[in-house]
Amino acid sequence: MNQEQLSEMCRQFIAGEIETRQFLSQCLATATAASDDATIDVQRLDRCGFPEVVYGEGKSLETIVAAIEALQGRQQKVLVTRVAPEQAAAIQAKFSSATYNQSGRTLRVDPEGINEARVGRVALITAGSTDRDVAEEARDTLDWMGVEVVLLSDVGVAGPHRLAVHWEKLQEIDAAVVVAGMEGALPSVVGGYVACPVVAVPTSVGYGASFGGVAALLGMLNSCSSNVTVVNIDAGFKGGYVAGLIARRTHASD
C-alpha cells in the first residue's frame, strides 16, 4: 500500500465509510505474490523505494522465473543476483528483455520503455583486477538503482600513486564502494581522500593467510578512517545497494 492509498483509506475511516475491523485488516495486510517455493514482497517498492531483489544461488530455475514474473507483472525493475550461466540462458530464452552480466553473475529484466534519469554519483573502486567480479555485482546493482557509476579499477595500495591521479573525480561523488582483498587496506586510503561515506567490500582474493577474505574483513573493520563502513565478504550487491541509497537520498530534494 502506497501513501496515497493509505491516505484515502484513512479518509474513509474518519468519514465512517469503513469499519474499524476493515480498516485495521487493510492496514496490516502486506501484498505478496506466492509460488510453490517463494513468497515475493511486491510491496517493497512502496515501502523501501526499490523492489525486492532475488538471490538466485541455490534456487531452482522455476522459482527464479516465478519471482521475475511476479515483479514484472507489476511493472517493477527486476534484479537477480548470483545467477549461474546456464540459469541465465534459460531465463533469457523466456524473457526477451533479460540481460546478463556473467562477470557479476547478475541478471536484469527492466519494464519496457523505462528510461529514468540518473540520480547521484558513486565511485566504484577496485584494488586489483581479481576483485572485478565482486565489483561488477556492485556496478549492476547501482545501475539498476539509477545511480551514475565512476569506475576506478586496479588502484590498490601496492601502487598508491594510481589512486591519487583520480583525486578530482573523488571530490564529485556522493559515496564510494571500495572492493579489495588481500589485507583490505584500500578503503582506509580512499577514506582519507573523500568527504563522503566509504562502503568497504572485502573479497575472498588472497593467499592462505587471507582466510578466504576474513583478513580483509578484519582489516576494514579496524580502519582508522572514520568514514569507512563494511559489508560482508564478496557482498558486491550489499555494498552497491547501501552506496546507492546514500547517493539517491543525497539528491532527494533536488
Spatial separation of the C-alpha atoms in residues 91 and 192, rounded to whole Å: 43
Which of 109, 136, 162 delimits the end of a domain?
109
Higher per-residue pLDDT: 96 or 149: 149
Beta-carbon count within 10 A of 242 CB: 21
- What pLDDT, on the 0 to 100 scale, is given for residue 73? 80
pLDDT tens digits for range 182-225? 999 999 999 999 999 999 999 999 999 999 999 999 999 999 99
Cell of 196: 563522503
- pTM of structure: 0.84
Q: Which helix (H) or strand (E) holds 11?
A: helix 3-14
Q: Which helix (H) or strand (E) holds 187?
A: helix 186-191
- Domain span at residue 53? 12-109
Residues 233 and 161 reside in one and the same domain: yes
Residues 85 and 169 reside in one and the same domain: no
Residues 76 and 174 reside in one and the same domain: no
Q: What are phi and psi of 177, to 5 degrees?
A: -110, 120
Tell me the pLDDT band of 30, cut-offs 50, 70 and 90.
Answer: low
Query: What's 188's domain CATH number?
Result: 3.40.50.1970
Residues 93 and 144 reside in one and the same domain: no
Spatial separation of the C-alpha atoms in residues 81 and 142, rounded to whole Å: 13
19 Rama class: left (phi>0) / alpha (psi -120 to 50) / beta: beta
Residue 147 in any domain: the answer is yes
pLDDT tens digits for range 62-114? 999 998 988 888 888 999 999 999 999 999 999 988 999 999 999 999 887 67
Spatial separation of the C-alpha atoms in residues 105 and 101, rounded to whole Å: 6
Residue 6 in any domain: the answer is no
Which of 89, 109, 129 delimits the end of a domain?
109
Residues 62 and 171 reside in one and the same domain: no
Q: How many domains does the chain have?
A: 2
Select from 41, 205, 74, 53 the least CA-distant residue to 138: 53
Residue 3 in any domain: the answer is no
Residue 232 in any domain: the answer is yes
